[in-house]
Structure 1
């Protein structure tokens, strides 16, 4: 029961000046260190922001805010970044604090004709390829190697590619999406990508054939679509969590389209995340400011977290499952303790 976890004050992360649309945690890097990154909405007179945080040496230390200057607004993002090399472009954010944003080199500029709503890197390899989608209604795969030297096959085929600024891109499933692509998830199988769109369809794509493997409809507008990143159990395939209408759909993280469970609520669900190890489901609503915690097995409501001043558009668990973050319309991120033992600044 969540009641076994003593109530503590959440940690509030400031820094964004507009509503937070998405937040995502990295995997554990080293020495139990991880990062999370967030993005916010932009307006015509304001460039959207991305803010990164790290949990070391304290739970949260704001590291940098990076302005996006590509065509269109990025409403979603991925955290797979190339750490480990001495090049400053590939250092963890904590080592980049002293370097002015203006001096950081832009590695790639990927042009889009309209708003970019989601980006995704593959899970298995270094980020040599990138998937994007948005108001163009196009799922596009970009080859970031430029020379094609990636150890992982960067694209489904070398034919029908377009090249701009040295970066090749491929469209997957031209004309299939009938609405803005709101979310992209790269599956554990490198050749499978999942999209969730405003046409209320979740699609699993085979990058080799460029056709959907499975296409499933949901009962309402899609709010979020996330693959939980907990892999503490050897045989854990992961759970793809889709918040749509007044329901949360839980799909197998490996087998495309296999529905594990559907949970119905009496409110519109804007975001959802699961911790399969602790058996917890957290939701955010489009109609209020609360984060609700449920038992994943019994659907019992265990806790209601209050503190935001706007709807919660994004929910995500840390890689160790000991906290979860919520991003809100109020422009803040709150981190909520999800473990019994002392942790981070809650010691």
Structure 2
């Protein structure tokens, strides 16, 4: 890879945002592009709800619009230039060999976002979505009303927003972590807008991810190339991982919490061991 890696989830579902003004959905088994959803500007974030599977998709980006697409409606057309219908307007969809025509879509909260939408998170409650935008706002959206149900202003430009579900407790919803300015914010994943903890640092954060099973979190910085691991309770620095040649823009723990991945400006993804016992090729 030669481009910087800023929006990814190595352990998540099959979707991607793109600089060609589209969002694409891929079959991870065959490599086939199933849907191409055209937008009027760069798409920075995509998200699938865990409950509904890959039939519902949320997108956001430099349009400053949060869109919901029903991919189950994209059936039975080979048109090369289909149009996605919307309840509050239309969104053009560039076709592939897949069925991208007549994809139903609608916009949530028109005009609310005043900056680029950088991240979208779907809560365990299917009706709740979270967006993090360049207007320094984290917003919780209720799909039933299509309006924000909570909002939190952070102290700096948002680098990342992740829902970390690694825990020792079955069905634990995890922690919503946000990197913004020189602070990491940890939000309740059930009660929208409730801040559980804020950790302050001497450097600008680019990314943060949490592992509740080990009570640790890891950060990436805009000013160096290191991944730093901290104690979640005391904020004590425990480890520093070196190996990248650019800032670490993306972080994600594996579902079992035993490794984490880092995505860097240098165009590489690295996996790091986060447990004491042997794991895979690590001894």
Structure 2: tracts of 5 or more residues without a match: 76-85, 93-100
Which of 227, 251, 262 is the aligned partner of 1:326?
262
Residues 326, 159 of structure 1: alpha-carbon distance in 2 compared, 3 angstrom cutoff: closer
Is 1:123 the counterpart of 2:40 in the alignment?
A: no
Q: In structure 2, what is the Cα distance between the partners aligned to 1:324 and 1:71?
A: 29
- The Cα RMSD (Å) is 2.4
Which of 215, 224, 238 is the aligned partner of 1:288?
224
Is 1:237 the counterpart of 2:179 in the alignment?
A: no
Is 1:260 the counterpart of 2:196 in the alignment?
A: yes
Q: After the TM superposition, which parts of structure 1 deviate over 3 Å for at least 4 consecutive aligned residues?
A: 36-39, 158-164
Q: Deviations over 1:176-217 (max 9, x none)?
A: 000000100011110010000000000000011010000110
Residue equivalent to 1:22? 7
Residues 326, 38 of structure 1: alpha-carbon distance in 2 compared, 3 angstrom cutoff: farther
SS across alignment from 1:256? coil
Residue equivalent to 1:218? 154
Contact 2:244 2:264 (8 Å CA) reproduced: yes
User: What TM-score do you get using the length of structure 1 for normalisation?
Assistant: 0.71
Q: Deviations over 1:93-148 (max 9, x none)?
A: 4xx4xxxx6xx3x3222110000000000021221110000000000000101179
Cα deviation, residue 24, structure 1 = 1.2
Cα deviation, residue 237, structure 1 = 2.5
Q: Deviations over 1:51-99 (max 9, x none)?
A: xxxxxxxxxxxxxxxxx6x84266xx9xxx8xxxxxxx75x54xx4xxx
Residues 37, 19 of structure 1: alpha-carbon distance in 2 compared, 3 angstrom cutoff: farther
Q: In structure 2, what is the Cα distance between the partners aligned to 1:112 and 1:223?
A: 23
Cα deviation, residue 282, structure 1 = 0.1
Q: In structure 1, what is the Cα distance between the partners aligned to 2:201 and 2:88?
A: 45
Is 1:186 the counterpart of 2:127 in the alignment?
A: no
Residue equivalent to 1:313? 249
Contact 2:133 2:158 (8 Å CA) reproduced: yes
Q: In structure 2, what is the Cα distance between the partners aligned to 1:226 and 1:119?
A: 12
Contact 1:130 1:144 (8 Å CA) reproduced: yes
Of structures 1 and 2, the one scoring higher in RCO (CA 8 A, sep 6+) is 1
Q: In structure 1, what is the Cα distance between the partners aligned to 2:182 and 2:132?
A: 16
Cα deviation, residue 230, structure 1 = 2.1
SS across alignment from 2:178? strand
Residues 318, 211 of structure 1: alpha-carbon distance in 2 compared, 3 angstrom cutoff: same
Contact 2:87 2:105 (8 Å CA) reproduced: no
Cα deviation, residue 229, structure 1 = 2.8
Is 1:272 the counterpart of 2:199 in the alignment?
A: no
Residue equivalent to 2:81? none
Q: Deviations over 1:292-329 (max 9, x none)?
A: 00000111000111111111101110111111111111
Is 1:113 the counterpart of 2:40 in the alignment?
A: yes
Greater per-residue strand proportion: 2
Contact 1:294 1:301 (8 Å CA) reproduced: yes
Q: In structure 2, what is the Cα distance between the partners aligned to 1:270 and 1:206?
A: 28
Q: In structure 2, what is the Cα distance between the partners aligned to 1:214 and 1:334?
A: 35
Residues 228, 183 of structure 1: alpha-carbon distance in 2 compared, 3 angstrom cutoff: same
Structure 1: tracts of 5 or more residues without a match: 1-15, 28-35, 40-47, 49-67, 82-88, 149-157
Q: In structure 1, what is the Cα distance between the partners aligned to 2:53 and 2:282?
A: 34
Is 1:145 the counterpart of 2:66 in the alignment?
A: no
Is 1:343 the counterpart of 2:279 in the alignment?
A: yes
User: What TM-score do you get using the length of structure 2 for normalisation?
Assistant: 0.87
Q: In structure 2, what is the Cα distance between the partners aligned to 1:131 and 1:110?
A: 11
Q: Deviations over 1:22-71 (max 9, x none)?
A: 331436xxxxxxxx8897xxxxxxxx9xxxxxxxxxxxxxxxxxxx6x84
